[in-house]
Amino acid sequence: MTGLRKWALAGALALGSAGAFAQSYPTKQITMIVPFAAGGPTDVIARIVSDHMSKTLGQPIIIENVGGAGGTTGSTRAAKAAPDGYTIMMGHMGTHGAAPGLYPNIAYNPQTDFEPVGLAAGTPILIVARKDFPAKDLKEFMAYVKANEAKVNNADAGPGSVSNITCILLHDMLKVNPVTIPYQGTGPLLNDLVSGKIDYACDQIVNLTPQLKAGTIKAYAVAMPARAKALPDVPTSTEGGLPDYQVSAWNAIFAPKGTPKDMVAKLNDALVKALADPATKGKLEDLGGIVPDAQGASSAALAELVKRENARWIPLLKSKVKQ
Amino acid sequence: MEIFNNLINGFAVVFQTVPVDLWPGAGSLVMKMPMNIILCLIGALIGTLIGVLPGIGPIATIAMLLPITYKLDPTGALIMLAGIYYGAQYGGSTTAILVNLPGEASSVVTALDGHQMAKKGRAGAALGIAAIGSFVAGTFGTILIALLAVPLTKVAQAFGAADYFSLMVLGLVCTIVLASGSVLKAIAMIFLGLLLSTIGTDSFDGMQRMTFGYAPLSDGLEFVTLAMGVFGFAEILRNLEREESRDLVEQKVTNLMPTKEDFKEAAPAVARGTLLGSILGILPGGGAVLAAFGAYALEKKLAKNPNEFGKGAIRGVAGPESANNAAAQTSFIPLLTLGIPPNAVMAIMVGAMIIKGIVPGPQIMEKQPDLFWGLIASMWVGNLMLVIINLPLIGLWVRLLRVPYRMLFPAILIFCAIGVYSINNQPFDVVLTAFFGLVGYFLLKMGFEPAPMLVAFVLGKIMEEKLRQAMLFSRGNPWVFFDFTKNPISAVLMIVSIIMLILAVLPVLRKKRDEVFVE
C-alpha cells in the first residue's frame, strides 16, 4: 500500500460513516415536521406527498405536528435538528417567505438555515366576499372598497396567516386601509363570511372551493396567471384588471442546513416521483393545488423562490405590521 | 317521512357488511364483516382509553391515528374518528371522578362533585350516572341532529361577535356559583384565570404579552398544562403530605351502581343538562365548556340545599356530564351542514376527509348522503357502545383506587407528563405543568378553588376575541352590546348578566349568600 493510498483510505474511513450512510440512505424512518396543526392545509399536503415519497425511499415518513407562533416554532426546531437526513420539514409561504417580516425575534433564516429540497404544491389565493356583497366583478369590487373604505369589513385568520398577508398585499396595491377583523383560524372566518357578517377576505383555494361550489360565498379573482382547474368559472386577477396581484401559498420541503447533498438529492427524487404519480397529483389538484413539474420542484428552483418571496414580503410586512 | 328513511339508510351504512380478507395473500379467508360497526367499537374503545389517560386528549390521538385511516374508506374512517372523539369526551370524566384529573375543559366541573363522591366511597355511583347520563344526552343529541340540523345551523349563524361576548359575560357571572367557598376568593380566581388567558401572542396585532421574550410562551398557556398542574399535581402534593392516608378511597366502596334514589335525584338533572348542552353545543368554540358548567350552575341554583354541592352531590355530576355529552354531539352540526369545523378535533376530521378526497362543504348532505347519515347513525351506536364498554369497567376502575398510593401517584405523574408533552411535543410544557402544580398547592393551602380560574381561563380567550371583534365591527361603540335592534340576543344576555351581578353584590343577599357558601 503506497503512502498516498493509505491516506486516501484513512480519509475515506474518516468520511466513511457519512459516505456509507448516504449510499444506503435512508436506513430508518424519516421525521417530517409540519409546523401547523394536524388537519390544516399544509398538514394535508404533507401527508399526501409523504405517503408516496416513503414508497420511493423504502422507509416510512412520520409526520410530527409542531404548531405555534405562525409555524415558526416548528421551523426553528427543524432548522436546529441534526442535518442527518432524518429530519425534514414541510414549510410554506409563511414560515419561509414572510415570517422574517412578521417576527422580529425569529430564530432562523429561511435562506441560510435550510437546504431546500423542493416545492410540493402551490396553492392559489382567491379574493372572496359574502354572497350579497354589492360588487359584481373585480373592477367593481376595487372601486367599491376604495369608495367605502371606512365602511367595509375585511377579515383574516390572525396576524401572519396567509389570509392576513395576502390581503395586506391587496390593500397595499389598492392603497386602502380598511378595518380588518381577525379570527382564530379560517373556520370561524368562513362561518361569518357565509352568514354575511363580514364583507370580504383573501384565502387559500383549499378552504373555499366547497363553499364557492355551493354558492354560499362568491369569488372575484384567483391571484395567478391561469384559472384554477378546480374553479374554472373564477376569473384571474389579470382578467379582472389587477394583473400585479399574483400570489400563491406554496408548500415546500426543506432539510436542515448541512444535510449532505446526496441525501437532499434522494429526497428531491422521491418528491419529484410523488408529484409525477397520477394518484398523488390528482389528490393535490382536487384540493386546488398547482403541482410543479420536475424543473419547478427542483432544489434550485425552491432556493430561488424563497429568495424572491423574502424580497417581496419582508419589506412590505415590516412597514405594515405593528411590532 | 324522509328523515325516517334517511336514518334507516344511515343505520344500513353502519351495519353493512363488507368482505374482508383475513389473511391477505391467501385469498381463501374472505369473510363478510360489519366493518363500520367494528370501526365504531374500536374508535369508542380507543377514545375511552385515551380519555382515561390524563392529558392525552382526542386531538393528539386522532392526529396520531390519522395514518391508519388512509387505508379505510371515508365513511369508516370518519365513524372511527368520531368514536374516538366522544369516547375521549366520556373517558375524561373517569379520571376526573377517580383521581381529580380533568383532562378536558368540560370535565373540570365533573371533578368538583364526582371526586367528592369517590372520596365518600361512591365512585361507582358517580361513574355509573356519568355513563347513563351521557348515553341519554347522546341519544337526544343524535335525534336532534337528524331532525333539526339545518334549522339549528341558522340559529348558530345568527350568533354574532357581540352575542358571543355577552354569553361569555353571563358565563363568567355564573362561574361565581361554581365556588363552594368564599365568593370573594372565587372572584379573585376568575380574574386570575382571565389574566392567565391573556398570556401569549395578541391575536389581533401579534404583540407578545407577558411572555418575557420567551418563545415557548408565545402561544399562551395550554389548558391541559394548567389543569394538570392546579388539579392533578397539586392534588398529589397534598395527598403526599399526609402519610399514606390519601384521598382516594380504599375503605368501603359501597355499591358499584347508582341506587334507585340516585336515579330519582339525577333524572331531572340529566334532562336539564341534556337540553342546555344540546343548545350550547351548536355554537362553535366554547360550547361544551359553557354547557358543562352552565348545567352545574343551574343545578346548584335549583337545588333545595345548594351547600351539598362541592361535597358530592350526584346532581352535580349528572347535569354537567349530560350537558357536555349532548354538546359533543350537537357540535357536529356546523361540520355536517356547512363543512366548517367548529373546533380543533373537527378540523383534524376535516383534514382526514380531505386526504380521502372528500372536501366537506355545504353540499355534503346531498353529495355524500351515506357518509352524512351513516355518521349520524354511528353516533348513536357509538354512544350505546360507550355504555356497554363502560358499565362493566366501573368495577375495574374502582378497584384501581385500591392500588397503594405510593405506586399509583408516580404512574399518574408519568402519564400526565406524557399527555402534556403530546400536545405540542414541547418539553417546556411539562416544566410549566410542574410549576402550576406548585401554584395549585399554594392555592389549595390558602383556600382558593381552582375551578373558577380554569373556567375563566377557557372563556377568557374566546371572550377577548369576541369583544375585540365586536368593537371593530361597531367601530368602537361599546353600546353595541345593548343594542336591541341590531343585537337583540346580546342585549338580553347582558341584561340578565347585570341582574345576576346586582343580585350577587346586593349586601342583604350577600350576607345570606355567605351563610350558604362559607363552610
Nearest to B357 among A158, A190, A283 (CB): A283
Q: How many domains does chain B have?
A: 1
> Is A88 in contact with A32 (CB distance < 8 Å)?
yes
Question: Using CB atoms, which residue from B340, B354, B473 is nearest to A287?
Answer: B354
User: In this predicted structure, what is the pLDDT of residue A23?
Assistant: 64
For B129, the 3-state DSSP assignment is helix
Q: A173 and A230: one domain?
A: yes
Q: Tell me: do A59 and A132 sit in the same domain.
A: no
Q: B357 and chain A: CB distance < 8 Å anywhere? A: yes
In this predicted model, which residue has the larger pLDDT, B103 or A66? A66
Complex ipTM value: 0.80
**Chain A residues near residue B218 by CB distance under 8 angstroms:** 68-69, 73
With contact defined as beta carbons under 8 Å apart, do A169 and A98 qualify? no
Nearest to residue A249, comparing CAs of A125, A118, A128? A125
CB pair distance less than 8 Å for B215 and A210: no
Interchain pair A38, B350: CB under 8 A = no
Q: Are residues A224 and A254 in the same domain?
A: no
The answer to whether A181 contacts B473, with C-beta atoms less than 8 Å apart, is: yes
Q: Is the pLDDT of residue A151 over 90?
A: yes
End-of-domain residue from the set A240, A274, A296: A240
Q: What is the dihedral of CA B345, B346, B351, B352, to 10 degrees?
A: 90
Q: Is residue A4 part of a domain?
A: no
pLDDT tens readout for residues B177-234: 666 667 788 889 999 999 999 998 887 777 788 888 787 787 788 888 898 889 888 8
CA atoms of A215 and A70, how far apart (whole Å): 31
Q: What is the pLDDT of residue A278?
A: 94
Higher pLDDT, A216 or B15: A216
Nearest residue to B239 (alpha-carbon basis) of B226, B248, B231: B248
Please identify among residues 283-312 of chain A the ones whose CB lies closer than 8 Å to any CB of chain B.
283, 286-287
DSSP state of A235: P
Point out the residue among B66, B350, B362 whose CB comes nearest to the CB of A216: B362
Chain B residues touching A105 at Cβ < 8 A: 213, 215
CA atoms within 13 A on the CB side of B514: 8
Inter-chain touch A67–B285, beta carbons under 8 Å: no
Residue A23 lies in a domain: no
Distance CA A204, CA A216 (A): 16
Helix (H) or strand (E) holding B437: helix B427-446
Q: Do residue A144 and residue A215 come from a single domain? A: yes
Q: Is the minimum CB–CB distance between B78 and chain A shorter than 8 Å? A: no
- Do A105 and A179 fall into the same domain? no
Q: How far apart (Å, rounded) are the C-alpha atoms in residues B372 and B399?
A: 40
Chain A contact present for B340, CB below 8 A: yes
> Mutating which of A184, A218, A281 best tests the B interface, going by the most B Cβ atoms within 10 A?
A184
CB contacts < 8 A, A to B, total 144
* Whether residue A148 is found in the same domain as residue A285: no
The answer to whether A263 touches A99, Cβ cutoff 8 Å, is no
Q: Flag if A214 and B469 touch (Cβ within 8 Å).
A: no
Compare CB distances from A69 to B219, B344, B351 and report the shortest one's residue. Answer: B219
State whether A32 and A77 are in the same domain.
Answer: yes
Using a CB-CB cut-off of 8 Å, the residues of chain B touching A182 are 203-204, 469
Predicted local distance difference test score (pLDDT) of residue A216: 92
Q: Distance (Å, rounded) from C-alpha B215 to C-alpha A100?
A: 15
Asked if A160 and A210 sit in the same domain, the reply is yes
Q: What is the CATH number for A275?
A: 3.40.190.150
Q: Are residues A221 and A191 in the same domain?
A: yes
Q: What pLDDT was estimated at residue B24?
A: 64
Q: For residue B320, which of B451, B231, B498, B200 has the smallest C-alpha distance?
A: B451
* Cis omega (within 30 of 0) for bond into A124: no
> Nearest-CA distance from B179 to chain A in Å?
30
Q: What is the pLDDT at residue A323?
A: 43
Q: Read off the pTM.
A: 0.82
Q: Any idea what the CATH number is for the domain that residue A181 is in? A: 3.40.190.10
Confidence at residue B155, expressed as pLDDT on a 0 to 100 scale: 79
In a domain, A213, yes or no: yes
Min Cα–Cα distance to chain A from B99, Å: 30
**Rounded alpha-carbon distances, angstroms, from residue A120 to A100, A279, A298, A299:** 22, 14, 10, 11
Is there a single domain that holds both residue A212 and residue A278?
A: no
How distant is the Cα of A14 from the closest Cα of chain B, in angstroms? 35
| Domain endpoint, select from A223, A240, A257 | A240
Which residues numbered 29-48 in A keep a CB inside 8 Å of some CB on B? 37-40, 43-44, 47-48
pLDDT-based confidence at A242, cuts 50/70/90?
very high
Residues of the domain holding B391: 2-517
The pLDDT, as a whole number, for residue A13 is 46
Domain that holds residue A204: 124-240
Could you please report the per-residue DSSP string of A12-61?
HHHHHHHHHHHHH--SS-EEEEESS-TTSHHHHHHHHHHHHHHHHHTS-E
| pLDDT tens-place string over residues A72-92 | 888 999 999 999 999 999 999
Residues of B in contact with A286 (CB under 8 A): 357, 359
* pLDDT > 70? residue A114: yes
Residues of chain B with pLDDT under 50: 250, 507-508, 518-519
Q: Can you give the pLDDT at residue B178?
A: 66
Report how many domains make up chain A.
Answer: 2
Q: Which of B62, B81, B199, B355 to mutate to test the interface with A (most CBs of A within 10 A)?
A: B355
> CB B205 to CB A195 under 8 A?
no
Residues 6+ apart with CB under 8 A from A319: none
* Distance between B341 CA and the closest CA of chain A, angstroms: 6
Confidence of residue A229 (pLDDT cuts 50, 70, 90): confident
Contact call for A159 and B334, based on CB within 8 A: no
Contact B254/A at CB under 8 A: no
Q: Is A241 on the interface with B (CB under 8 A)?
A: no
CB contact under 8 A, A191 and B340: yes
Set of chain B residues whose Cβ sits within 8 Å of the Cβ of A64 = 425
Span between the terminal Cα atoms of chain B, in Å: 56
Please check whether residues A116 and A134 belong to one and the same domain: no
- DSSP 3-state of B236: helix
For residues B147 and B4, the answer to whether their CB atoms sit within 8 Å is: no
Of B328, B309, B407, the closest CA to residue B104 belongs to: B328
Q: In whole angstroms, what is the distance from residue B499 CA to residue A199 CA?
A: 35
Beta strand A200-204 with A114-130 is antiparallel
Burial class (CB in 10 A: 0-12, 13-18, 19+), A312: middle
pLDDT digits (tens, 9 = 90+) for A164-213: 999 999 999 999 999 999 988 788 888 899 999 999 999 988 878 888 98
How many of the other CB atoms lie within 10 Å of CB of A293?
11
Q: How does residue A262 score in pLDDT terms, banded at 50, 70 and 90?
A: very high
Q: Do residues A203 and A230 share a domain?
A: yes
What is the residue whose three cell numbers read 379573482? A221
Q: Which of A240, A261, A287 is the last residue before a domain boundary? A: A240
On whether the CB atoms of residues A239 and A111 are closer than 8 A, the answer is no
